[in-house]
Amino acid sequence: MAERYDAIVIGGGHNGLVNAAYLARAGKKVLVLEQRHLVGGATVTEELYPGFKYSVFSYVISLMRPEIIRELNLPGHGLTILPLESTLTPLQNGEYLYRGSDPHETRRNIARFSPRDADAYQDYGHTLFFMAKAVKYMLGIVPPDPTSLHPKDMLGLAALGKYLTGLREDDIYNLTKLMTMSAVDFLEQWFETDVLKATLSASGIIGTFLGPRSPGTAYVLLHHYMGELDGNFRAWGFAKGGTGAIAEAIASSARAFGAKIRTEAKVSELLVKNNSVRGIVLDNGDEIFADTIVSSLDPWQTFLNLPPNGSMPEELLTDIRKFKFKGSSAKVNLALDALPQFNCKPENSNFLRGAISISPSLDYLEQAYDDAKYGDFSRRPYMDIIIPSMIDPDMAPPGKHVMSCFVQYAPYHLREGNWEDKREALGDAVVNTLAEYMPNIKDIILHRQVVTPLDIEERIGLSQGNIFQGELSLSQLFFLRPAAGWAKYRTPLKNYYQCGSGTHPGGGIMGAPGRLAAMEILKDGGH
Amino acid sequence: MPLPTPFHTRTAQHCTSAQWRNWSGYMAAINYQYTHDFEYYAIRNAAGLIDVTPLYKYEISGPDAANLVDRIITRNAHRCKIGQVLYTPWCDDDGKMVDDGTVQRFSEQRFRITSATPNLWWFQDCAYGMNVDIQDISADLGALALQGPKSRDILREVVKGIDFNKLKFFYLAEGKAGRIPLVVSRTGYTGDLGYELWVERKHAEKLWDMLLDKGQKYGITPAGLNALDISRIEAGLLLLDVDYISSKHALIDARLSSPYEAGLGWAVNLKKKRFIGRSALAREKAAGSVWQFCGLDVSWPEIEALYGKVDLPPLVAGVASRLAVPVYSGSRQVGQATSITFSPILKKYIALATVETGDIMPGSKLSMEITVEFAREQAEATVVKLPFYDPPHKRS
Ligand SMILES: Cc1cc2nc3c(=O)[nH]c(=O)nc-3n(C[C@H](O)[C@H](O)[C@H](O)COP(=O)(O)OP(=O)(O)OC[C@H]3O[C@@H](n4cnc5c(N)ncnc54)[C@H](O)[C@@H]3O)c2cc1C
């Protein structure tokens, strides 16, 4: 007899797994199909060099929803989030900017550049708190559709309106400005110090094909701040065992609820009859049937590749084709024989347990962006670096280290040549840049993995290597994610749903799309 | 002014936060760093090094040593093997707890007892008519707790003469760190894999240096009392003067606790013919106790909702609170929560509580008082079995 399930979830990234866990928790018979040999998608840990564990793609956890951690009992399934509390921005001349958990120490550090900025920094944090709070509310709800007259949407909008009107006037003003502003314009309201503005604006460009002065980057900056709001819950930090441990914990929870997870099972097409999905076909030709099919893949895969031709309305396909991916990020993972030595000597010796940001000035970031605008990778890229083995000693053999470098910009479309040929050149550019701050770096590299945007696309199916399954720009957020009218996890095909980062509220290790989609599916009832 | 411990030159160097507490007359770091986070996670994920010298330590030796220890504690000291360690309470004649601590047996006739409060007078009193020598060695002996999953790897590199594969949970062994003789017991106050090291005070600094040097690659981190306090609550371990009051200090009867009421019934051995407090404890065992010790899992969604009402994120203390608060069943107060903390590893708000016996058992829904923006509120608290956190590597 053919295999049958209540629901099949396509893709075993963290959102697919969250979705499956919630469906299984509600008593559904669920099967997850993952093309790779391991689950996790962009959240995987792999030992590519003996004894050294890489968080191959994503590397820090910042937005994971507390309700998911609790409802799926992820701590009970092995999830431990270790603190990651400081950011060091080294400068070439041996100077540095250090921000840590002690506000007084941070203040002293900023004051070395500008006493005025040192004070403004506290006000900045205060304002960001209120704005992030406003946006955080939206993370937890299914976006109401403003073009709809459905009573539920009207109620949803009313609730949202009421919520927003509950905000202070200043905050609404700041919030609306923030949605369209550039990170730099936003930051210049507070700060004059170049390196401070550069480092803060960097979180506004992560995952985008935009520079710090491009409109819309202020929102991305806020998106990255949201994890700060959960009080002691602090879903922010480094997952013990690397980001793969997050996927493993969710998978373990899903299995405990009865879900089945199958790896090395690539879905090639949906089975559709009478405008309703009935199952899927694997690339080996096997057919598996289910009442509900959920895709955790990005909108291109979900709408363009998986459904059979002619099964989706043309105008939606047009919208989806316009959805911006434009991957711009790469990852370089290093196995190190010893710790890197820095030109600068921060007074707080714990800085190696925090993030290291290569963002010495705004011009530096703009320059990096300029290279990419013209179709080349940045010769001296922006980097967000952590040394996981300093936080979790199990990531490397004793005394040895792993280093994770998130690199921007590395455009998916190169003007000349292809990524196969340019991969190691990108790796060299990264190492040369590192060497400007860590002179011993070249002597201690035991192994290097360069992950290009093409690798991201080919290995985990993120179109054009966009790390968020589509840019987090204003035209692609909230009720527009992934397309107007289809932001509530449903699709024009009956019983076919979406639950990946390409849906509201977007990318990052957050789990919110997976959970919200499961709630909608369960609401739709029988299936 | 509190005294420096034998490790003070070293702890002072690491204590960049300059936050100290007076622990039994000694300077003990509260946090070495600005916050306790790294120190706490070192205990849970790598290795935390805690200066526990301020514990009181007694050496009991002589022909009647075993008889005396057996008379004092509620467990059977005669059955304590050489090289074994017992965690145990001890009581007064009324079966009320005087203190709790560990008993280490070094030979037929030699024991050491650690305790939270001074006990020399009590032990000597109990030894009336016995051929035994009791020494207060508190000031002579430095003590370090090395706690966490990497603690064994570090000790393997530092300590010679001990087979750490064979050193079982709650056993001790003697070895050497370089030329320094020391005692290593597989004990601790964190509920994790961990050891305590006992060393003559003159060797203290050298031992600290060796541990830090060899431990660096395993993430060794000096850890202060805040980190320790969260860990011990997660491990469900009692603290004297916080979770119960010594019968020597209690001003009213209502403040007395028996081992049964403190969750230590398992450590009361009524098969023993005689020990101090036995008949009272036998009576209590037969009649049933009034109080029981338990864990509370306080509902985080309710805390979020309570704070949400005043438009705040949950602002519960990030460190352990020792301010006791009432616990209710419906509208009736049924006890108190005495140690409360947010557990970073479990992501839960947890408490140690003393509540009435009777209907209340694991799974019971009670509520715990919580102050939100100066107003007294209650959040649902589910009774759970202790410990909250019990990793398999603790006994591995
Ligand atoms: C390099 C990089 C760095 C990042 N850094 C961070 C970070 O530090 N912090 C953070 O919060 N976020 C980060 N992100 C973003 C974050 O990791 C992603 O937004 C998130 O993990 C996406 O999860 P998902 O479940 O929605 O999708 P994915 O993780 O993409 O999961 C999709 C899954 O589907 C599988 N799949 C694809 N096609 C098929 C098919 N046809 N059949 C079966 N299976 C299929 C894929 O193999 C994959 O496992 C990063 C992303 C990248 C790429």
pLDDT per residue as tens digits for the range A3-57: 899 999 999 999 999 999 999 999 999 999 999 999 999 999 999 999 999 999 9
Whether residue A150 has pLDDT greater than 60: yes
- Closest approach of chain B CAs to the CA of A102, in angstroms? 6
Task: Give the Cα separation of A489 and B305 in Å (integer).
Answer: 27
A95 shares contact with chain B (CB less than 8 Å): no
The mean pLDDT value for A167-190 works out to 78
The mean pLDDT value for B251-262 works out to 97
pLDDT in tens, A73-90: 999 999 999 988 899 999
Which residue has the least CA distance to atom 38 on ligand 1? Answer: A461
Give the per-residue pLDDT at A317: 93
- The mean of the pLDDT values for chain B is 97
- The mean of the pLDDT values for chain A is 90
The mean pLDDT value for A363-376 works out to 96
Band the pLDDT of A504: cuts 50, 70, 90. confident
Band the pLDDT of A468: cuts 50, 70, 90. confident
Whether residue A235 has pLDDT greater than 80: no
A66 shares contact with chain B (CB less than 8 Å): yes
Q: Which residues of B touch A66 (CB under 8 A)?
A: 300, 347
Give the per-residue pLDDT at A148: 61
- Closest approach of chain A CAs to the CA of B149, in angstroms? 10
Whether residue A526 has pLDDT greater than 60: no
Task: Give the Cα separation of B246 and B122 in Å (integer).
Answer: 12
Q: Which residues of A touch B153 (CB under 8 A)?
A: 398
Would you give the distance in Å from CA B268 to the centre of its chain? 18
Would you give the distance in Å from CA A468 to the centre of its chain? 5
Residue of A9, A18, A35, A224 with the most ligand 1 atoms within 8 Å of its CB, for mutation: A35
Contact (CB<8Å) B34/A101: yes
Token pair, residue B94, equals 């009324």
Amino acid letter for position B366: L
A140 shares contact with chain B (CB less than 8 Å): no
Give the per-residue pLDDT at A168: 65
Whether residue A151 has pLDDT greater than 80: no
Give the per-residue pLDDT at A228: 60
3-state secondary structure of B21: strand
CATH code: domain B57-136 is 3.30.70.1400
One fold for both B8-55+139-223 and B57-136?
A: no
Task: Check if CATH label 3.10.620.30 holds for domain B8-55+139-223.
Answer: no
CA of A42 to the centre of ligand 1 (A): 3
Whether residue B336 has pLDDT greater than 50: yes
N-to-C CA span, chain B = 42
Non-local CB neighbours of B267 within 8 Å, separated by 6+ positions: B74, B75, B87, B88, B89, B259
Give the per-residue pLDDT at A180: 78
User: With a 6 A CB cut-off, is A11 part of the ligand 1 pocket?
Assistant: yes
Give the per-residue pLDDT at A527: 47
Domain boundaries, chain B: 8-55+139-223, 57-136
Nearest to A101 by CA among A273, A296, A236: A236
The mean pLDDT value for A255-267 works out to 98
Give me the sign of the Cα torsion angle B256, B259, B261, B264.
positive
In contact, A7 and A290? CB cutoff 8 Å? yes
pLDDT in tens, B199-255: 999 999 999 999 999 999 999 999 999 999 999 999 999 999 999 999 999 999 999
The number of beta carbons lying within 10 Å of the beta carbon of residue A326 is 20
Amino acid letter for position B265: G
**Higher pLDDT pick, B275 / A148:** B275
Task: Give the Cα separation of B182 and B176 in Å (integer).
Answer: 6
User: With a 6 A CB cut-off, is A187 part of the ligand 1 pocket?
Assistant: no
| Ordered DSSP codes for A504-527 | TT-SSTT-HHHHHHHHHHHHT---
Whether residue A161 has pLDDT greater than 70: no
- By the 10 Å C-beta count (0-12 exposed, 13-18 middle, 19+ buried), A73 is classed as middle
Task: Give the Cα separation of A365 and A210 in Å (integer).
Answer: 10
Task: Give the Cα separation of A242 and A80 in Å (integer).
Answer: 10
Q: Judging by DSSP bridges, how do beta strands A287-295 and A496-498 pair with one another?
A: parallel
Non-local CB neighbours of A74 within 8 Å, separated by 6+ positions: A68, A246, A249, A250, A253, B347
Q: Which of B45, B315, B344 sits opposite A392 (nearest CB)?
A: B45
Task: Give the Cα separation of B35 and B52 in Å (integer).
Answer: 20
Contact (CB<8Å) B316/A231: yes
- By the 10 Å C-beta count (0-12 exposed, 13-18 middle, 19+ buried), A301 is classed as buried
Query: Which range among A143-147, A158-162, B127-131, B214-218 shows the weakest confidence by mean pLDDT?
Result: A158-162
